[in-house]
Amino acid sequence: MGLTGLEIYKHLPKTNCKECGAPTCLAFAMALASGKASLDACPYVSEEAKAALDSAAAPPIKLVKLGAGEHQLELGDETELFRHDKRFFHPTGVAVLISDTEDAAAKASAFDELEFDRVGLHYVTDVVAVKCDSGDGAKFKAAVEAVAAKTAKAMILLCEDPALLEGALNAVADRKPLLYAATADNYEKMVELAKAKGCPLAVRGKNLDELAELVEKIVALGYKELVLDSGARDTSKVLADLTQIRRLAVRKRFRPFGYPTIAFATKEDPLEEVVQAGVYLSKYASIVVLKAAKKEQLLPLLTWRQNLFTDPQKPIAVEPKLYAVGEVNENSPVYCTTNFSLTYFIVEGEVENSRIPSYILSVDTGGISVLTAYADNKFTGEIIAKAMKDADLDSKVKHRKIVIPGYVAVLKGALEEASGWEVMVGPREASGIPKFAKENFA
Amino acid sequence: MAVEILKEKYRSKVGEVVLGATKEQGGTRSHTITVGGESALPFLHFEGAIPNRPVIALEIYDMVPEDWHPCLEKYYGDVYADPAAWAKKCVDEYGADLVQVRLRSADPDVKDSSPEDCAATVKKVLEAVGVPLIVIGCGKAEKDNLIYPVVAEAAAGENLLLGVAELENYKAITSACMAHQHNIIAQSPIDINICKQLNILIAEMSTAMAGRIVIDPTIAALGYGIEYTYSIMERARIGALQGDKMLAMPMIGNIGHEVWRTKEANTSTEEAPGWGEQEERAILWEATTAMAYLQAGMDILVMRHPRAAALIRKNIDELMQDNSY
Amino acid sequence: MIIIGERINGMFKDIAKAIRDKDSAVIQDWARKQEQNGARYLDINVGPGAADPVAAMKWLVEVTQEVTDLPLCLDSTKYDAIEAGLKICKRPAMINSVPAEAPKMERVFSMAAEYGAEVICLAMNEEGIPKDAESRVALAMELVATADAFGVPIDSLYIDPLVLPCNVAQDHGPEVLETLRQIKLISDPPPKTVVGLSNVSQGTKNRELINRTFAVMAMANGLDAAIADACDDELMAAVATARILLNMDIYCDSYIDVFKKG
């Protein structure tokens, strides 16, 4: 929402001059709040008031871009506190940390392999963060260059000495890395550098108060491509700070917190680190940085990110195709269902429980459930028969029997006619599948 | 500049449920465990009380599990055949706050054990450990309805958490819990409306039972629809804090059970080299699922792999640290 | 939306008689009945005929509090009576009411600040009730700004846009609804809103139908509370249903019972 009547009123001259046409400044403020008047009607309003009212129209959290080209990441521009209220828009960037004191080239060369395929989706680890632990400009620059040579993904450069940072940045400036971080001690130089190279800039305070203060100072210097870090590192405190930053930005339009955020997992044990990073990813971090870099460590985290950032309004579909559950052969039973992911996964789980290797034909219903699809004419005898043909079921199994969900028993005739197969009516709920399978296929 | 911290003012809080009973209270537990009582969203200590930390139950079967992944054998293999020893190991070696006994052998398609056999197993487990117990049936309603009264009576005074009540089948278990004063798990199929309605129906049978309900929203594992349950739990918890009494109960989830059915937990390293090493992947699949549900307000996490449980215990330790401003 | 039960009011003959006879059973019976049917506050009004309004208010508050934990809404134009009631209320009460008139606002808002009471603020002043929404909202704004200056939290204010009987002032209906919408734009958090629901049907036939229809329409425009007949089952069912349709409560099959039990 925009500014309230009371907030606008604070910026008005409070003279009740009536020149705007409203009887009082209070009434004029309300007219502005409800969009029925324009500020231009007030001849006495200050420039400051105008600026304050203009900025209220901006989105609650600024969209900040990290990186360049095809691996560019969009951060921020969120509007909700809970995904069920609408959705979360920009998935958290997951960054793997590489120190310039380790073999940066070796760790970076494995980085591009941190991509995964599961359930027809491709998950990507998006960001590589290079940290200057050596205190040696040449070493840091070499590490940054080595990493840049191994991966084209977005980068974060962590170095709080602007002089050292500049040396390394010069080598990769066109990649538009995130510069970490401006603090109370170095912010003027950091802002200068970020401005000169057009890079986003992380801002770290000692706490929320100092962070807000620092952001205002940086904005006053004319730079707004910012990413926030409250400085907290204990899991519970980070959770609280990330929650406050998001809430104040979204609910109160608190301008200093209207930027994306970055959080750092700190645990030494990589498994603990993943769990800690998961907390920050769940609760509002725009980027999480962690050292863990093994496939088995990142796959769960990226899966959670994918799940959390789905649109709750939109049904999630699995790829419509023939799935094999277990060691299938030409005698295996065939079930069919829709490609609504939740339906499919429940059916798959129960077919697994039946311990009889089977095929599941997931029919393209645009990702909606059995009954909805049936009502919508997206799950009909003809459509299922076509899916059977497309999946080449004839050559997969010798028998000619297919199981349909009990809720759409009425489709039996139409499907038998369209496919020429014998149609078996399965249980109404997926939980009945093991019993059904035992009675019919064991 | 001083930032004005934004604290939600909630009207209400989650009810507390006490599990187990000590000798003085008519049971034989060494201590009780209280869950629920939150007056803020998960771990936001700065705006309300989180009086009881979420707890971890490890799950055992009343028989040798036929389908558990081989990687679990090194932890439980020696005790699979002895539920009492298994429970003891969960508590003594793996630090479980609670033990959940799943009466799998009672399934008519498995061993069809009698209600009396089930009760005997529960008694043995009660003797072996001092922690409060969760007991759930085999999942076949007809059979479970025969089991509940017998187990409830055998464990009278122990203040079990007994499950599960469902919309289509809640009367027998509710009666059993009423008669012998146990707590009840009310399970709804990823549906907040049914969740609320079931709580009302149980409360209508007995107002005393209303304060003994633990909600099982039916959880999905990471990657298998977790976001549906996550959002339902968030909505239920917000509803509870805003004054919806029929959602103001602690929540439980069978995390181990769901996670260990997934491909990601079970597929070997060789079969899926792109997914990394199997056991660590499975541990993190379980821990990440648990981590997410903690953030949505889960109070009792029923887990399987001891290392996943240990990770989550540590996570809870950290999240329980005060973060007031 | 919550219901402030209107029944303990000396305008009703049984209540007036009970006050005269000090017959607490009648009052307590109405307190219980309204609570059981879903009222969240109870309005307490000694009525125009009370000989000693201060004493009558004290007595009503005392006997009501003996049987209910609901917060009370002290309804009087005599602020001494309200203050007497506030002193003995066991939990923060609501003051009903104050118009946008400087001396009255001063008295009521300082009282509210002292006792931590909520306040029903009437969108009217010495000149009466304005016809259009803009003027009503301007008065609301004045009330809010004044309350704020006295240190009364804005979200403890209930602005009453003032509903008039639909058979004499039909044209006020849409203005009241528009006022309800705009009041939410005054501040963040915004003040709450309340109406005296039965006013809308004063002197008409189909009173209950008009009441509940208007209640639902007003809820759709953001109404937070209504002083109304909590024992009107159809009204309570309509309110419970509107709460579901507005996504204010989570649906379940027994939602009407749940609403009444709170």
Does the pLDDT at position B93 exceed 70?
A: yes
Average pLDDT, chain A: 92
Burial B151-171 (b: 16+ CB within 10 A, else e): bbebbeebbbbbbbbbbeebe
Do C188 and C139 share a structural domain? Answer: yes
- The residue of chain B with its CA nearest to that of A430 is B189
Amino acid identity at A291: K
**Dihedral angle sign, alpha carbons of residues A129, A134, A137, A138:** negative
Structure tokens at B71: 């990687």
CB atoms within 10 A of CB C248: 12
Nearest alpha carbon to residue C184 among C133, C227, C228, C147: C133
Range(s) of the domain holding residue B56: 17-319
My answer on whether C222 and C120 are in the same domain is yes
Strands B183-187 and B161-165, how do they pair?
parallel
| Inside any domain, residue C242 | no
Tell me if C258 sits within 8 A of B200, measured CB to CB. yes
* Record: contact A213-B1, CB cut-off 8 A: yes
Q: Both C76 and C144 in a single domain?
A: no
In this structure, the number of other CB atoms found within 10 A of the CB of residue A99 comes to 18
- Verify whether the Cβ–Cβ distance B200 to C257 is below 8 Å: yes
Query: What is the crossing angle of helices A162-172 and A137-150, to 10°?
Result: 30
Percent of chain B with pLDDT over 70: 100
Domain boundary among C31, C59, C91: C91
- Please report the pLDDT score of residue C194 as a whole number: 98
> Is B236's CB within 8 Å of C250's CB?
yes
Q: Which amino acid is at B274?
A: G
Residues of B with Cβ-Cβ distance to A352 under 8 angstroms: 261
* Side-chain-facing half-sphere of B57: CA atoms under 13 Å: 29
CB A238 within 8 A of CB B324: no
- Tokens at residue A355, please? 């311990």
Q: Is A425 helix (H, G, I), strand (E, B) or coil?
A: strand
Task: Specify whether C52 is located in the same domain as C166.
Answer: no
Nearest to A393 by CA among A442, A332, A327: A332
Pairing of the two strands A401-404 and A422-425: parallel
Based on the domain organization, do C81 and C191 belong to the same domain?
Answer: no
Alpha carbon distances (Å) from A290 to A276, B313, B323: 9, 20, 22
Tell me the pLDDT band of A1, cut-offs 50, 70 and 90. very low
- Residue C25 inside a domain? The answer is yes
Question: Does C79 reside within a domain?
Answer: yes
Q: How many helices (H) and strands (E) does chain A have?
A: 17, 17
| Contact criterion met (CB < 8 Å) for C185 and A4 | yes
CA distances from C132 to A36, A331, B208, C110, C185 (A): 15, 78, 53, 29, 17
Q: What is the 3-state secondary structure (H, E, C) of chain C?
A: CEEEECCCECCCHHHHHHHHHCCHHHHHHHHHHHHHCCCCEEEEECCCCCCCHHHHHHHHHHHHHCCCCCCEEEECCCHHHHHHHHHHCCCCCEEEEEECCHHHHHHHHHHHHHHCCEEEEECCECCECCCCHHHHHHHHHHHHHHHHHCCCCHHHEEEECCCCCCCCCCCHHHHHHHHHHHHCCCCCCCCEEEEEHHHHHCCCCCHHHHHHHHHHHHHHCCCCEEEECCCCHHHHHHHHHHHHHCCCCCCCCCHHHHHHHC
Q: How confident is the model at residue A343 (pLDDT cuts 50, 70, 90)?
A: confident
> Do the Cβ atoms of B236 and C261 come within 8 Å?
no
**Domain boundary residue, one of C34, C68, C91:** C91
Q: Is C244 on the interface with A (CB under 8 A)?
A: no
Please report whether residue C8 resides in a domain: yes
- The span from the CA of A61 to the CA of A217, in Å, is 18
B158: helix, strand or coil = coil
Range(s) of the domain holding residue C42: 1-91
- Is B196 in contact with C261 (Cβ distance < 8 A)? no
pLDDT score recorded for residue A2: 67
Chain C residues closer than 8 Å to A23 by CB: 138
Residues from chain A that touch B319, judged by Cβ atoms under 8 A, are: 235-236, 239, 279
Q: Which of C188, C221, C247, C250 to mutate to test the interface with A (most CBs of A within 10 A)?
A: C188
Size of interface A-B (CB pairs under 8 A): 171
Say if the Cβ atoms of A279 and B223 lie within 8 Å.
Answer: no
B46 CA: distance to closest CA in chain C (Å): 20
ipTM: 0.97
Residue A370's pLDDT band (cuts 50, 70, 90): confident
Are B245 and C254 inside 8 Å of each other by CB? no
Domains identified in chain C, total number: 2
Query: Within this chain, do residues C132 and C81 fall inside the same structural domain, yes or no?
Result: no
d(CA A183, CA B32): 49
CA atoms within 13 A on the CB side of A45: 23
Q: What pLDDT score was predicted for residue A70?
A: 92
CB contact C253 to B (< 8 Å): yes
Residue B31: the pLDDT is: 98
Tell me, yes or no, if C262 comes closer than 8 A to chain B by beta carbon: yes
Whether residue B109 and residue A435 make contact (CB cut-off 8 A), yes or no, is: yes
Task: Report which of C230, C126, C122 is spatially closest to residue C179, judged by C-alpha positions.
Answer: C122
Give B-chain residues touching A434 at CB under 8 angstroms: 109
Calculate the CA A11 to chain-centre distance.
38
**pLDDT, tens digit, for every residue of A218-250?**
999 999 999 999 999 999 999 999 999 999 999
Q: Looking at the structure, do residues C130 and C213 belong to the same domain, yes or no?
A: yes
Q: Do C250 and B245 touch (CB under 8 A)?
A: no
Q: Is residue B325 included in any domain, yes or no? A: no
* Res. C40: pLDDT tops 90: yes
Range with the lowest mean pLDDT among A104-108, A275-279, A365-369, B81-85?
A365-369
Residue A423 β-bridge partners: A402
Q: How far is C25 from chain A (nearest CA, A)?
A: 47
Predicted pLDDT at A286: 98
CA angle A288/A307/A108 to nearest 5° reads 40
pLDDT in tens, A174-213: 999 999 999 999 999 999 999 999 999 999 999 999 999 9
User: What's the rounded mean pLDDT across residues A31-58?
Assistant: 81
Mind listing the pLDDT tens digit for each residue in B286-313? 999 999 999 999 999 999 999 999 999 9
Contact of B239 with chain C, judged by CB distance below 8 Å, is answered with: yes
- C76 and C157 inside one domain: no
User: How are beta strands B133-136 and B161-165 bridged, if at all?
Assistant: parallel
Residue C243, in any domain of the structure: no
Q: Which chains touch A (3 or more CB pairs under 8 A)?
A: B, C
Is B253 within a domain? yes
Do C112 and C58 share a structural domain? no
How many whole angstroms separate alpha carbon A275 and alpha carbon A28?
52
User: Helix B141-154 and helix B115-128: axis angle, to 10°?
Assistant: 50
Which range among A39-53, A298-312, B159-173 shows the weakest confidence by mean pLDDT? A39-53
Identify the closest residue of chain C to A85 by CA–CA distance: C247
Which among A237, A302, A303 is positioned nearest to A95, based on CA atoms?
A302
Tens of pLDDT along B15-53?
Answer: 999 999 999 999 999 999 999 999 999 999 999 999 999
Q: Is the peptide bond before A328 cis (omega within 30 degrees of 0)?
A: no
Taking residues A317-336, report their average pLDDT. Answer: 92
CATH number at residue C180: 3.20.20.20
Give the number of B-C residue pairs with CB atoms closer than 8 Å: 33
Q: Residue B244 is nearest to which of C249, C253, C257, comparing CB atoms? A: C249
Same domain, C8 and C114: no
Nearest residue on chain C to A252, judged by CA atoms?
Answer: C188
Q: How many domains does chain B have?
A: 1
Provide the pLDDT for residue B28: 97
- Interface subset of B 253-292, CB within 8 angstroms of A: 261, 263-264, 274-278, 280-281, 283-285, 287-288, 291-292
| A54 vs C81: which has the higher pLDDT | C81
Both C85 and C113 in one domain: the answer is: no
Residue of C175, C178, C186, C250 best to disrupt the A interface, most CBs of A under 10 A: C186
Q: Which of C105, C108, C80 is nearest to C94 (CA)?
A: C108
Three-state secondary-structure class, residue A198: coil
Q: Is B8 inside a domain boundary?
A: no
Structural domain includes residue C160: yes
Q: How far is B266 from chain A (nearest CA, A)?
A: 12
Which C-chain residues 135-164 have CB contacts (< 8 A) with chain A?
Answer: 135, 137-138, 141-142, 144-145, 148, 154
Kindly state the average pLDDT of the residues A346-372. 88
Average pLDDT for B127-149: 96
Q: What's the rounded mean pLDDT across residues A314-327?
A: 86
Query: Do A304 and B288 make contact, defined as CB atoms within 8 angstroms?
Result: yes
C186 neighbourhood in chain A, CB within 8 Å: 4-6, 30, 33
What confidence score (pLDDT) does residue A11 get? 85
**Nearest residue in C to B201, CA atom:** C254
Summarize pLDDT for B45-92 with one digit per residue, the tens.
999 999 999 999 999 999 999 889 999 999 999 999 999 999 999 999
Q: What is the pLDDT of residues A126-145, one digit of tens each?
A: 999 999 999 999 999 999 99
Q: What is the CATH number of the domain that holds B272?
A: 3.20.20.20
Q: Answer whether residue B87 is part of any domain.
A: yes
Cβ contacts of A386 within 8 Å, gap of 6 or more: none
User: Is A181 strand, coil or helix?
Assistant: strand
Domain identity same for C112 and C210: yes
Q: Residue B208, class by beta-carbon neighbours within 10 Å (0-12 exposed, 13-18 middle, 19+ buried)?
A: exposed
Closest CA of chain A from C99, distance in Å: 17
Give a yes or no: residue B202 inside a domain: yes
> pLDDT class for A432, splitting at 50, 70, 90?
confident
Does the residue B9 lie in any domain? no
Other chains touching B, judged by 3 or more CB pairs under 8 Å: A, C
Containing B252, the helix (H) or strand (E) segment is strand B252-254
- Over range C60-66, report the average pLDDT: 97
Distance CA C92, CA C70 (A): 10
**Does residue C260 fall inside a structural domain?**
no
Substitution target in A83, A295, A340 with the highest count of B β-carbons within 10 Å is: A295
d(CA B148, CA C245): 39
Measured between beta carbons, which residues in chain B are less than 8 angstroms from residue C252? 193-197, 200, 246
Q: What is the pLDDT of residues B95-116, one digit of tens each?
A: 999 999 999 999 998 999 999 9
Instruction: Give me the percent of chain C exceeding a pLDDT of 90.
Output: 94
Residue B4 domain-assigned?
no
Integer angstrom CA distances of residue C128 from A72, C138, C166: 62, 14, 18
Q: How confident is the model at residue A50 (pLDDT cuts 50, 70, 90)?
A: confident
The DSSP code sequence of A292-339 is: ---HHHHHHHHHHHHHHTS-TTSPPBPP-SEEEESS--TT--EEEEE-
In a domain, B1, yes or no: no
Q: Who among C252, C257, C262 is closest to B193 (CB)?
A: C252
Instruction: Nearest by CB to B196, from C250, C261, C262: name it.
Output: C250
Contact A240 B323 (CB under 8 A): yes
